[in-house]
Chain A
Amino acid sequence: MLEVAHVRKDFGAVQAVRDVSFTIAPGSTFGLLGPNGAGKTTTMRMIVGIYAPDGGYVTWNGTPITNQLRRRFGYLPEERGLYGKMKVREQILYFGRLHGITDPLIGEKTDAWIEKLGLQIYVDRPCGELSKGNQQKVQVACAAVHDPELLILDEPFTGLDPVNADTLLETLNDLKKRGTTLVLSSHQMWQLEQICDEFCIIMAGENRATGTLAQLRDAWPTRVIKVEPPSDAVKRVLDRVPSAHALPNLNGALYYEVPSGTELPGLLRELVSADAITRFESIEPSLHDIYIHTIGQA
């Protein structure tokens, strides 16, 4: 289990991270969200041991992060980089060796990653000659070739075309199935929503919300309900719901935002008795909605 407890990191007068805490269960996938400058990258760097926290602590299975321990981690930084003149296979082998994998195992693992990411035709090409998307795939292979227990990916989907983004998503799902603990940050909410079990939204170096998507939704103060037909009788019923307000009509349906505590079965019964209801739907907030709401509240 990864435990990040009240970590703080200062750079001179700048407080990059003030107080961030979360725990990640082994084998789960965790999404770290926040606007630019929120402290996501600094938090990730503290997890991977690049920075030592100025306050708080980070442990993996109860052990503080040491040089020996972090060899079992993998990290894909936001700032992508490769040795431009080094060939693809050579580069992946190098990072595998840096993480302590020896011959002949490292060769097998490297070839497996090359195949998995569809890089076979580039193996003997210098990385500098590859497209940005393919370079990114090489970087993912470099970060994960040693089968890390914990893989941290900072904005892994940035710069990828939809096909490569799907390939990466598939790869991450594979790792997840194999029990790798994943920590991801991304601004592509729908991708995180697809893969992550838990989330932490941070802003200005502090936690704003933490939990599973269901927990975050439970904490969401309102629900949007969609009702058809958009008749006056239906409107009258909905207007009577305390604190409810109408949203713009769309595609011949009525949209109302109601408090999350509203008893929906009772409301549906009232609507049915008022008119011939053809559609009644409670729309759950998406991760994107929760994120925007949380950041907007701050």
Chain B
Amino acid sequence: MNEFITIYSAEVMRRLRSRAFIIGLVVGALGIMLMIRLPSFIESFTSQSYRVVLAGNPDLISAARPLLKDDYNVAATAPGLTNPTPADLKSRKASLVIVLTHAQRGIRATVYAKDPSSVTTSDLRRDLLPLHIGFATKLSSKQVTSLLKMPVEVKPLESKFGTAAQADQARVVANILIVLLYILIVLNSQLIMTSVAEEKTSRIAELLVASVSPSTLLAGKIAASATLAILQMALWVAIGFIFGSSATTSSMHAATHASPQAMSFSGISAADIAGFIVFFFLGYLQMATIFAAIGSLINRTEDIGSIGGPFFIPIVAALFIALTALEVPDAPFVVAASFIPLIAPFVMFARIVVSSVPLWQIATSFAINAAAIWGIAILAGKIYRIGMLLYGRPPKLSQLWHALRA
């Protein structure tokens, strides 16, 4: 136990002082801040860039202006201008000219744009619909607006959420947590692989395994890495909360493509958070153990990317399946994937957040993945024991097979 504590504390200190960890921590924090702030920045930049000139019938211009204000930066009006030229755009520093005229029934909008692909006709149609219907039916704008607000109610059946809004909120938060889970597992598995590879390439491995058993050494390193991953997670989540709570509703809307209240945590329960922590540990312990074993096979630090790279494929696959699981949590392939080691930690967590997963499925997935950790640890321990002292050419598959069977 003392050896474990010695290795654990030395690893924690070594990693805390390492440039890679500090850079990862800072870059991750900056990334989160950027992710939260970037949509609002882009939106403001976009709205600044796409200056619009409203032209055509003066009555229509004044009626349309308030309807367009949420989606367009109406920078100027040009009553009477019906056939704009590029010079008109340039002189008004605008990207679009929307010309409004009376049609046989309702109104007609013609958009003149430098870049036609920047025009979303459905948005424009939606914004101007009350005006169009008003002119077509001779109803007052109040009446039209009232008619357009058709009541639609969603009633959940067998759903863990009380309302559709809560389900949306949970989905948004789950999206963020799954990406966080992915980043934490990938980053820390990569770090542990690098740490093991460094010990091997610096030739200190033999001195270490002569002093302590390889399994204690491996356990100490993985535990230290898990501690630092939790530290990272806590810091990043804290930053996410601080920045998220101060971010504008519109930026959230842009970031999540959901309702303006979507960043609220009201759809996430304590059980979901517990699930996140449990499945983080399951996923992390599986991947970290595998990557530690891979690190022991590396003879040159420059081989880390090429040898370790293919082993990230299951995590990337798990990420995509988990994101799919948020939309179709009960699809048969999603359900099956939520039991498969390496993939299950992501997928089962996604299912838990957005649906009512039967308890037996959660328990079975946990048992399978916990057993997988045990199995992976035994196999990885054998590879690690051999790999750490194997210099020169990387071991052949037959040698690894021999080591695994020993």
Cβ contacts under 8 Å, B202 to chain A: 81-84
Overall SS of chain B's interface: helix
In chain B, what residue has the closest Cβ to A99? B211
Is B103 on the interface with A (CB-CB < 8 A)?
Answer: no
The distance in angstroms between the C-alpha atoms of A152 and B202, with both chains bound, is: 20
Contacts A86-B14, A98-B3 given; does A77 touch B402 at CB 8 Å: no
- Nearest CB on A from B224, distance (A): 13
Is B2 on the interface with A (CB-CB < 8 A)?
Answer: yes
**In contact, A139 and B207 (Cβ under 8 angstroms):** yes
Is A157 on the interface with B (CB-CB < 8 A)?
Answer: no
Contacts A12-B398, A12-B402, A98-B6 given; does A48 touch B210 at CB 8 Å: yes
The distance in angstroms between the C-alpha atoms of A25 and B7, with both chains bound, is: 33
Is B364 on the interface with A (CB-CB < 8 A)?
Answer: no
Is A70 on the interface with B (CB-CB < 8 A)?
Answer: yes
**In contact, B210 and A50 (Cβ under 8 angstroms):** yes
**In contact, B402 and A75 (Cβ under 8 angstroms):** no
> Which one of B7, B18, B209, B399 lies within 8 Å of A50 (CB-CB)?
B209
Is B43 on the interface with A (CB-CB < 8 A)?
Answer: no
Cβ contacts under 8 Å, A159 to chain B: none
The distance in angstroms between the C-alpha atoms of A50 and B208, with both chains bound, is: 10
The distance in angstroms between the C-alpha atoms of A73 and B10, with both chains bound, is: 21
**In contact, B206 and A79 (Cβ under 8 angstroms):** yes
Overall SS of chain A's interface: loop
**In contact, A83 and B14 (Cβ under 8 angstroms):** yes
Is B281 on the interface with A (CB-CB < 8 A)?
Answer: no
The distance in angstroms between the C-alpha atoms of A142 and B207, with both chains bound, is: 9
> Which one of A70, A75, A86, A102 lies within 8 Å of B207 (CB-CB)?
A75
The distance in angstroms between the C-alpha atoms of A95 and B202, with both chains bound, is: 16
The distance in angstroms between the C-alpha atoms of A118 and B210, with both chains bound, is: 25
**In contact, B206 and A77 (Cβ under 8 angstroms):** yes
> Which one of B205, B212, B402 lies within 8 Å of A98 (CB-CB)?
B212
The interface size of chain A toward B, counting residues with CB under 8 Å, comes to 31
Cβ contacts under 8 Å, A82 to chain B: 202, 204
Contacts A67-B213, A97-B6, A98-B212 given; does A81 touch B205 at CB 8 Å: yes
In chain A, what residue has the closest Cβ to B402? A12
Cβ contacts under 8 Å, A86 to chain B: 14
Is B391 on the interface with A (CB-CB < 8 A)?
Answer: yes
- Nearest CB on A from B389, distance (A): 7
- Nearest CB on A from B16, distance (A): 12
Cβ contacts under 8 Å, B205 to chain A: 81
In chain A, what residue has the closest Cβ to B220? A98
Contacts A81-B206, A94-B6, A100-B2 given; does A50 touch B389 at CB 8 Å: yes
Q: Which of B352-406 contact A (CB under 8 A)?
A: 389, 391, 398-399, 402
**In contact, B399 and A143 (Cβ under 8 angstroms):** no
Is A187 on the interface with B (CB-CB < 8 A)?
Answer: no
**In contact, A83 and B3 (Cβ under 8 angstroms):** no
**In contact, B210 and A70 (Cβ under 8 angstroms):** yes
Is B102 on the interface with A (CB-CB < 8 A)?
Answer: no
Is A80 on the interface with B (CB-CB < 8 A)?
Answer: yes
Contact with B along A204-239 (1 / 0, CB 8 A): 000000000000000000000000000000000000
In chain A, what residue has the closest Cβ to B401? A12
Cβ contacts under 8 Å, A143 to chain B: 207
Q: Which of B198-224 contact A (CB under 8 A)?
A: 199, 202-213, 216
Contact with B along A27-59 (1 / 0, CB 8 A): 000000000000000000100111000000000
Which residues of A does B touch, CB under 8 Å?
A: 11-12, 45, 48-50, 67, 70-71, 73, 75-77, 79-86, 94-95, 97-100, 102, 139, 142-143
Top 4 A-B pairs, shortest CB-CB distance = A81-B203, A81-B204, A75-B210, A77-B206
Which residues of B does A touch, CB under 8 Å?
A: 2-3, 6-7, 10, 14, 17-18, 199, 202-213, 216, 389, 391, 398-399, 402
Besides A94-B10, A100-B3, A139-B207, 5 new A-B residue pairs in contact (Cβ under 8 A), listed by A number: A75-B211, A76-B207, A77-B206, A82-B202, A83-B202
